[in-house]
């Protein structure tokens, strides 16, 4: 009994320490997942607690379950809108991109380690896919707003590339154990089986669960447990059928998450907790499993492989995958850089150890080093690289928080929270009259919070810096009101520098703009001047438009998309004056 209680105590303290360490993440500029790994390593056999943990089977069991939970949560938060701009390139990255990375990196690893080509390819396959836990965590919680094309492609890729990576590792392990018994046709058949069952079961289970959930009456806290248990059941059943459980559970989450009903919408915060707990447990366990001195002994291999993968293999794979979809070079550069590695490579590196492959422990130690380097180099530089490759979108039109209150099974009211920033236009205004474009009758004040206390609003109330206001709205005015609360001189300058000083309706003809009157007179027969702004932008983009896309008119002027709805319809376009063409 004492042993059991010691296990409970140590496990709980490790998770508690990991979560508390997360408060240092922002200050130190380190990815949170790396801190979880460090906590596990400090508690391991060469750390402060000296815990000896070498149970690879248990680690694999925890890793599979944790990754399934993380992918389910990621799917629940993936909007169908992401598929409009990111599905085709993401699928290409998740298939050809993984294969290209493994082939290019495999040749380098075989030469570097001076091993059989089968071992080299196995090492490359272990680290060949991006990690959903790392990508979802760092992109969604990193405070960087990317253009939708890049964000959607990265997230969908990370959720969809695990099946092929796992299949490659499994196939290459079999090739190392029994080279004679493996054939290319057998591998191709296994690939089609994994993808086919994963896709079919995931979509079917997601549809059935989405239809079932609105009809079930449960206590609020039970819905998240129901969805999690159903997701794990889909994961396990698909694996038993010979399909990809990871693909199935991700697609199940996508289908459920896009059916907005009372029983699914309010569970996201609970599911977020499950996902964070899964990540914390997984990375702490992986940290316990590793022997730091062994990783240090092969650090030069890890550095060389990580550098080759980040600078050569990944860029080649990304360029050949997404260039046919008319991605800009700067977008390709950023996607190449954010090929984050995390728990998946370490979990995959456990499989050769369990199979008794020669050099399996060497592969595990190298993979662990590659993951740490990826989290440090790539994870900490996402904001810098987003600015460098110009894929970051300046924004001041988002509320601080929003919560849906469901008043029936299919009807909800959204409450929006806005905070008054320093120098914002809202300062000195009444909370009901913050914008001339919004009628006071269309917004209702739910609460005004000042200095942590609720303030009674009367006709003389004026907003002050630091106030937090909760609104319930009749129309779609959240972005307009957010600008009033968030707008500062610095933000306005950033946005004007990015989008230009003039905002245009998409239905305005180019020739009607006074800046091009002279061009119209000298070149009146040119068809472009008779096009609307929206028509001109779409005809020159050659890809699905997203906010931040730029189209040059001439050497002095360009158009920049500012607002776009969920169907891809352009709402607002900025006109920007240039010193030279904006490529």
Q: What CATH number has the domain spanning 496-577?
A: 3.30.465.10
pLDDT tens profile 363-380: 999 999 998 898 888 888
pLDDT at residue 182, as a whole number = 65
Q: Which of 19-23, 54-58, 118-122 has the lowest mean pLDDT?
A: 19-23
* The pLDDT value given to residue 298: 92
User: DSSP secondary-structure letter at 416?
Assistant: E
What pTM, to 2 d.p., does this model score?
Answer: 0.81
Q: Is the pLDDT of residue 519 over 70?
A: no
The answer to whether 94 and 105 are in contact (CB under 8 A) is no
Query: What was the pLDDT predicted at 121?
Result: 92
Interacting residues of 498 by C-beta distance below 8 A, sequence separation 6+: 393, 394, 548, 560, 574
**pLDDT tops 90 at residue 234:** yes
- Asked whether the CA dihedral 330, 134, 376, 392 is positive or negative, the reply is positive
Average pLDDT over residues 66-74: 85
pLDDT for residue 583: 44
pLDDT at 164 over 70: yes
The arrangement of secondary structure in 401-487, i.e. its CATH architecture, is 2-Layer Sandwich (3.30)
- Range of 195-204, 337-346, 400-409 with top mean pLDDT: 195-204
Of 97, 118, 96, 92, the C-alpha closest to 107 is: 118
Lowest-confidence segment of 225-229, 237-241, 258-262 by average pLDDT: 258-262
Higher per-residue pLDDT: 464 or 79: 464
Is residue 431 within 8 Å of residue 499, measured between CB atoms? no
Residue ranges per structural domain of the chain? 2-38+56-289+297-388, 401-487, 496-577
Q: What is the DSSP letter of 310?
A: I
Name 338's Cβ contacts closer than 8 Å, sequence gap at least 6: 130, 135, 139, 154, 378, 382, 385
Task: Note the pLDDT of residue 143.
Answer: 65
| The predicted structure's pLDDT at residue 265 | 63
Q: What is the DSSP string of 80-147?
A: HHHHHHHHHHHHHIIIIIHHHHHHHHHHHHHHHHT--HHHHHHHHHHTSS--HHHHHHHHHSSS--B-
What is the pLDDT, as a whole number, of residue 402?
Answer: 80
Print burial letters for 134-165: b (CB count within 10 Å at least 16), e (below 16).
Answer: bbbbbbeebebbbbbbbbbbbbbbbbbbbbbb
Mean pLDDT value across the chain? 82
CA 520 vs. chain centroid, Å, equals 45
| Per-residue pLDDT tens digits for 446-501 | 889 998 888 888 888 888 888 999 988 877 778 778 878 876 655 667 777 788 77
Task: Give me the mean pLDDT over the 419-438 stretch.
Answer: 82
* CA dist., res. 338 & res. 309, Å (int): 12
Alpha-carbon distance 193 to 219, whole Å?
Answer: 39
pLDDT of 369 reads 92
Dihedral in degrees, nearest 10, Cα atoms 335, 340, 344, 347 = 150
- Residue 29 confidence (pLDDT): 52
Task: State yes or no: pLDDT of 562 exceeds 90.
Answer: no
3-state secondary structure of 470: strand
Q: Answer whether 96's CB lies under 8 Å from 164's CB.
A: no
In sequence order, the β-bridge partners of residue 416 are: 402, 471
Statement: residue 582 has pLDDT above 50 = no
Please indicate whether residue 573 or residue 139 has the higher confidence score (pLDDT).
Answer: 573
Cβ density class 44-54: b for 16+ within 10 Å, e for less: bbebeeeeebe
| DSSP reduced 3-state for 501 | coil
Of 93 and 189, the one with more pLDDT: 93
pLDDT for 111 equals: 95
Does this chain's domain 401-487 share its CATH topology with 496-577? no
Residue 28: is its pLDDT beyond 70? no
Section 406-418 average pLDDT: 76
Is the confidence at residue 188, as pLDDT, over 70?
A: yes
Q: What is the pLDDT of residue 85?
A: 78
What's the confidence (pLDDT) of residue 218?
77
* CATH for 2-38+56-289+297-388 (3.90.1570.10, 1.20.1530.20, 3.30.420.40, 2.40.70.10): 1.20.1530.20
| Distance, CA of 399 to CA of 387 (rounded, Å) | 23
The string of pLDDT tens digits covering residues 337-363 is 988 887 788 888 898 988 888 888 999
Residue 96: band (very low, low, confident or very high) from pLDDT cuts 50, 70, 90: very high
User: How would you class 204 by CB atoms within 10 Å of its CB: exposed for 0-12, middle for 13-18, buried for 19 or more?
Assistant: middle
Determine the average pLDDT of the residues in 392-418: 77
296-317 pLDDT per residue, tens: 999 999 999 999 999 999 999 9
Helix (H, G, I), strand (E, B) or coil at 520: helix
How far is 260 from 247, CA to CA, in rounded Å?
22
Q: Which residue has the higher pLDDT, 346 or 409?
A: 346
How many distinct helices (H) and strands (E) make up the chain?
26, 9
Residue 102: the pLDDT is: 93
pLDDT in the model for residue 202? 93
- Of all residues in the chain, what percent carry a pLDDT higher than 70? 89
SS3 state at 507:
coil
Run of H or E residues at 224: helix 220-240
How far apart CA 175 and CA 288 sit, in angstroms, is 30
Residue range 388-395: mean pLDDT, rounded: 83
């Amino acid at each position: 009994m004492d042993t059991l209680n010691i296990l409970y105590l140590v496990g709980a303290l490790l998770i508690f320490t990991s979560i508390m360490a997360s408060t240092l993440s922002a200050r130190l500029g380190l990815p949170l997942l790396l801190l979880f790994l460090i906590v596990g390593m400090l508690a391991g056999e060469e750390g402060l607690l000296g815990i000896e943990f070498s149970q690879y089977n248990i680690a694999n069991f925890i890793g599979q379950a944790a990754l399934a939970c993380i992918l389910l949560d990621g799917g629940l938060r993936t909007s169908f809108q992401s598929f409009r701009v990111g599905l085709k390139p993401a699928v290409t990255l998740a298939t050809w991109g993984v294969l290209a990375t493994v082939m290019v990196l495999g040749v380098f690893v075989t030469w570097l380690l001076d091993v059989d080509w089968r071992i080299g390819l196995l090492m490359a396959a272990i680290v060949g896919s991006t990690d959903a836990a790392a990508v979802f965590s760092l992109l969604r919680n990193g405070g960087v707003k990317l253009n939708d094309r890049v964000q959607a492609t990265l997230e969908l890729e990370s959720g969809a590339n695990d099946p092929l990576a796992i299949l490659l590792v499994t196939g290459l392990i079999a090739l190392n154990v029994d080279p004679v018994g493996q054939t290319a046709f057998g591998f191709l058949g296994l690939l089609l089986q994994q993808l086919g069952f994963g896709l079919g079961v995931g979509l079917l289970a997601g549809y059935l669960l989405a239809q079932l959930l609105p009809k079930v009456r449960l206590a609020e806290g039970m819905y998240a447990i129901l969805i999690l248990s159903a997701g794990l059941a889909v994961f396990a059943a698909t694996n038993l059928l010979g399909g990809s459980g990871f693909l199935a559970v991700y697609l199940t989450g996508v289908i459920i998450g896009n059916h907005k009903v009372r029983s699914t919408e309010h569970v996201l915060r609970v599911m977020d907790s499950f996902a964070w707990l899964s990540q914390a447990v997984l990375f702490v366990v992986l940290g316990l499993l590793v022997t730091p001195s062994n990783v240090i002994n092969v650090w030069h291999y890890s550095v060389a492989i990580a550098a080759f993968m980040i600078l050569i293999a990944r860029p080649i794979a990304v360029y050949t995958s997404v260039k046919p979809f008319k991605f800009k070079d700067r977008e390709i550069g950023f996607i190449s850089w954010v090929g984050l590695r995390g728990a998946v490579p370490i979990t995959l590196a456990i499989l050769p150890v369990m199979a008794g492959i020669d050099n399996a422990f060497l592969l595990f130690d190298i993979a662990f080093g590659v993951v740490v380097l990826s989290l440090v180099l790539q994870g900490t530089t996402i904001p810098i690289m987003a600015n460098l490759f110009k894929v970051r979108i300046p924004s001041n039109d988002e509320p601080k928080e929003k919560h849906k209150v469901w008043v029936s099974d299919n009807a909800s009211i959204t409450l929006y929270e806005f905070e008054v920033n320093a120098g914002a236009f809202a300062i000195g205004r009444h909370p009901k009259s913050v914008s001339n474009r919004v009628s006071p009758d269309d917004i209702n004040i739910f609460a005004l919070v000042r200095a942590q206390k609720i303030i009674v609003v009367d006709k003389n109330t004026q907003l002050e810096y630091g106030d937090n206001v909760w609104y319930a709205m009749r129309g779609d005015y959240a972005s307009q009101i957010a600008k009033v609360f968030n707008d500062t001189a610095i933000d306005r300058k950033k946005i004007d520098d990015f989008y230009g000083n003039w905002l245009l309706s998409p239905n305005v003809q180019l020739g009607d703009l006074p800046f091009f009157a002279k061009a119209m007179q000298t070149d009146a027969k040119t068809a472009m001047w008779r096009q609307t702004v929206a028509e001109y932008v779409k005809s020159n983009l050659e890809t699905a438009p997203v906010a931040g896309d730029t189209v040059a008119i001439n050497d002095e002027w360009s158009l920049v998309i500012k607002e776009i709805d969920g169907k891809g319809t352009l709402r607002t376009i900025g006109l920007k004056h240039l010193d030279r063409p904006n490529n």
